[in-house]
Amino acid sequence: MNTNFVFVLDADQRPLSPCHPARARALLRKGKAAVFRRYPFTIILQRAIPDATPTTCRVKLDPGAKTTGLALVQGEKVIWGGELHHRGHQIKERLASRAALRRGRRNRLRYRKPSYRTRAQINNAKATYARKRAAGWLPPSLQHRIDTTMTWVNRLMRYAPVGELTQELVRFDLQKMDNPEISGVEYQQGELAGYELKEYLLQKWGRTCAYCGKANIPLEVEHIHPRSKGGTDRAANLALACVPCNQKKGNRPIEEFLKKKPEVLKRVLAQAKRPLKDAAAVNATRWALFHRLNATGLPVTVGTGGQTKFNRTRFGIDKAHWKDAACIGDMTAIAFATDTALAITCKGQGGRQKAVVDRYGYPKQHRPLKPIHGWRSGDIARCNGQVGRISPRQTGSFELRPFSGGKPFSRPVRHFERLHRNDGYQYKIG
């Protein structure tokens, strides 16, 4: 199985062209290089190469609400792939939980002077708070997506000779879906016709049949309210259906087709009117990410989700976030030198909350100061031939949770060999 290419630095930490894993193993075995970083795996040579002219690469990004695809392309060859899993929903839930606990504590303080404010005073206070926000402010759950994506863009620029950035700027072109002639008839009648709308519907209906719920089967675009009965071609009137359900429904109104399934009828009508929450998150952050990419000083090119799917279908590439990233933009050919991707899960750097609270919002346990004996939770270490994540304890006996799935065990701190310091991410290859 082919794996991601290995990043290479010279002795002055200048990025060189990434090499095949077999070449990296040979350099390490001969003592010509040493391991510089494990995630992403990077080696550093024992000598400087000031006159090296490495082949430039291009970083491609497929931003998503939950997962962002990363691909490093050298010419027409994909040499590295990664999938960055965000934790925006966790941030939102923790902020909401913290606000509820604080609100509950304030309400239980009987000595607090009551605050009676009119609706106008409340609106003025909200307006004053909104004016204090800086231009381009985003909620923490959305800002997190941009910050973590830029962290990995900067890492790839540090470890590889990156000369260009490519971003999927828009997932769906809603204007073209509602008015296909907004940019001319060529778009409507060309090879990309319908790909924007199909990608939108696949996301909206979860890649399943709207009527029977079957997945992993061919799906057709179906009018909820038939065109022969006055229905339109707008996205709100379209659904995805398998071939048997589409033929069985025909041009009957959906109320007649699902009169014996009221629960399904209610779900389909509600889903048809429901906006895409994840698409809204992507739309809210896409331009902010685009401006951050421009600030790097490298040329930035963009593409659309419909174009990405067109390229993936044309070259017969399986569906995956990092493969979607590799298919962004104009391209004539593509080849994959790797068939695995580095799974990167955002875990955070550890909460700033110094006390664990009970369900009433009062402290019940105080957290120890970090690091503990020079170690932090999530550090990767080796002990007794097993590699896993560390849970440090103040007693000096640490717990290791092996990646192989074995039973966790505890050993004194002197028995552990540190392999990778916790940097806020959890990694898995494959």
430 has a pLDDT exceeding 70:
no
pLDDT, average across residues 391-399: 89
**Largest Cα span, the chain:** 77
The span from the CA of 40 to the CA of 7, in Å, is 8
Residue 140 within any structural domain of the chain: no
Can you give the pLDDT at residue 188?
40
277 has a pLDDT exceeding 70:
no
Residue 42, phi then psi, degrees to nearest 5 = -135, 135
Strands 300-304 and 162-170: parallel
Give pLDDT tens digits for 304-346.
888 888 899 899 999 899 999 999 988 889 999 998 999 999 9
Label residue 300 by pLDDT band (50, 70, 90): very high
The span from the CA of 93 to the CA of 89, in Å, is 6
CA-wise closest residue to 380 among 371, 369, 391 = 391
The span from the CA of 419 to the CA of 147, in Å, is 25
Domain with 392, as residue range(s), is 368-424
Residue 386 within any structural domain of the chain: yes
Label residue 189 by pLDDT band (50, 70, 90): very low
The span from the CA of 123 to the CA of 219, in Å, is 48
Measured N-to-C along each axis, helices 140-159 and 277-294 cross at an angle, to the nearest 10 degrees, of 40
Residue 376 within any structural domain of the chain: yes
Q: Which of 210, 241, 275 is the last residue of a domain?
A: 275
Can you give the pLDDT at residue 235?
76
Residue 393 within any structural domain of the chain: yes
What CATH number has the domain bearing residue 196? 1.10.30
Number of other CB atoms surrounding residue 174 within 10 Å = 15
| Token output for 339 | 């068939």
Which residues 6+ apart lie within 8 Å of 183 measured at CB?
A: 176
Label residue 131 by pLDDT band (50, 70, 90): low
160 has a pLDDT exceeding 90:
yes
Average pLDDT of the chain is: 84
Q: Please tell me the total count of domains within the chain.
A: 3
191 has a pLDDT exceeding 90:
no
Label residue 284 by pLDDT band (50, 70, 90): confident
Can you give the pLDDT at residue 382?
92
Q: Which of 228, 244, 275 is the last residue of a domain?
A: 275
Residue 214 within any structural domain of the chain: yes
Cα–Cα separations (whole angstroms), residue 86 to 128, 292, 307: 31, 18, 24
Can you give the pLDDT at residue 373?
87
Can you give the pLDDT at residue 196?
62
Q: Which of 275, 300, 331 is the last residue of a domain?
A: 275
Give pLDDT tens digits for 4-38.
999 999 999 999 999 999 999 999 999 999 999 99
Residue 59 within any structural domain of the chain: no
The span from the CA of 227 to the CA of 260, in Å, is 23
Can you give the pLDDT at residue 112?
60
Residue 33 within any structural domain of the chain: yes
Give pLDDT tens digits for 73-114.
999 999 999 999 999 888 988 888 888 887 777 777 666 665
Can you give the pLDDT at residue 305?
83
Lowest mean pLDDT among 103-117, 121-135, 218-232, 297-311: 103-117
Residue 211 within any structural domain of the chain: yes
Lowest mean pLDDT among 75-84, 115-124, 350-359, 383-392: 115-124
Give pLDDT tens digits for 166-186.
999 865 555 554 554 444 443
Range ranked top by mean pLDDT from 109-113, 121-125, 129-133, 282-286: 282-286
